[in-house]
């Protein structure tokens, strides 16, 4: 019993002499996000007329969305991390038109570059307050399909996007040297989207520009969770 007790003391002394190092200058981290969603609507009908019964079934595809954003971070100073994320989003609308038996959709493609900076302030052992500021610079296109005389026609419109965000309620739990869990419960974001289009109407060339601004601030009780790997 005495030997076991001395062994525990010795093991505790080893950990005390070599505390878990975290968020030091030169540390690197990888994280990211992946999303996939979609829906469809099923229609079924039955018609009874006299002794005859007929049934019909139709499946209408709904919207679809795919997104991926790998992120790399580097600690330029102790607890000060700079990061860079590259994102791609694909969104397909529900059916907007039909040509014969073929459905027409609107497709949106968006590529983004997202630099950021965050600071990890220790609250207690292995638990950190990690506010962050990030930018988002993107470009993409909207491909709108419609039924034409000879088939499906596609109208393509390009756009650019710029935005920034501040994560004030952001935290990190680091139970091991290489693994961490991030928690976020609300951001303040601003986004600006600029689209331009050029078309010919009655022999005249018409150019149009549209700029949209969006401000969003949200707090939620169910925090979003992410995972990070340090190396």
How large is the average pLDDT for residues 12-25?
A: 51
pLDDT digits (tens, 9 = 90+) for 138-189: 999 999 998 888 889 898 889 999 999 999 889 999 998 889 999 888 788 8
Query: Which residue, among 156, 154, 152, 153, has the nearest Cα to 99 in the 3D structure?
Result: 152
Say yes or no to pLDDT of 201 above 80.
Answer: no
What pLDDT does residue 22 have? 58
Q: Please tell me the predicted confidence (pLDDT) of residue 222.
A: 62
Domain that includes residue 169, residue range: 33-230
Does any domain span residue 127?
yes
Q: Tell me which residue of 116, 118, 114, 115 sits closest to 79, measured CA to CA.
A: 118
pLDDT at 7 over 60: no
22 belongs to a structural domain: no
Q: Is residue 218 part of a domain?
A: yes
Per-residue pLDDT for 194 more than 50? Answer: yes
Query: Which whole number is the average pLDDT over 98-105?
Result: 88
Note whether residue 2 is domain-resident: no
Alpha-carbon span 161 to 176, nearest angstrom? 38
Tell me if 170 is assigned to some domain: yes
**Residue 196 pLDDT > 90:** no
Residue 132 belongs to a domain: yes
pLDDT number for residue 108: 94
Would you place residue 3 in the very low, low, confident or very high pLDDT band (cuts 50, 70, 90)?
A: very low
Prediction pTM value? 0.77
**How is residue 182 annotated by DSSP?**
E
Does some domain include residue 84? yes
Q: Average per-residue pLDDT in the chain? A: 84
CATH code assigned at 137: 2.40.128
Query: In this structure, is residue 15 part of a structural domain?
Result: no
Instruction: Among 7-21, 95-109, 194-208, 209-223, name the most confident range.
Output: 95-109
> Residue 23, by phi and psi: left (phi above 0), alpha (psi -120 to 50) or beta?
left
Number of domains in the chain: 1
As a whole number of angstroms, the distance between CA 135 and CA 29 comes to: 19
**Confidence band (pLDDT; 50, 70, 90) for 10?**
very low
């Amino acid at each position: 019993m005495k030997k076991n007790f001395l062994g525990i003391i010795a093991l505790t002394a080893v950990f005390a002499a070599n505390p878990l190092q975290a968020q030091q200058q030169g540390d690197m981290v990888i994280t990211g996000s992946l999303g996939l969603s979609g829906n469809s609507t099923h229609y079924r009908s039955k018609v009874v007329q006299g002794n005859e019964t007929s049934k019909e079934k139709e499946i209408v595809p709904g919207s679809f969305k795919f997104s991926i954003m790998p992120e790399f971070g580097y600690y330029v100073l102790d607890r000060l991390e700079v990061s860079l994320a590259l994102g791609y989003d694909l969104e397909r609308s529900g059916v907007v038109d039909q040509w014969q038996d073929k459905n027409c959709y609107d497709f949106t493609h968006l590529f983004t570059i997202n630099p950021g900076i965050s600071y990890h302030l220790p609250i207690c052992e292995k638990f950190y307050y990690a506010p962050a500021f990030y930018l988002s610079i993107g470009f993409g296109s909207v491909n709108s399909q419609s039924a034409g005389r000879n088939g499906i026609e596609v109208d393509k419109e390009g756009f650019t996007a710029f935005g920034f965000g501040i994560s004030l309620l952001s935290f990190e739990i680091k139970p091991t040297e290489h693994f961490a869990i991030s928690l976020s419960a609300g951001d303040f974001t601003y986004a600006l989207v600029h689209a331009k289009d050029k078309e010919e109407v009655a022999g005249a060339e018409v150019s149009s520009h549209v700029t949209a601004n969006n401000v969003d601030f949200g707090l939620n009780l169910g925090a979003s969770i992410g995972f990070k790997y340090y190396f």
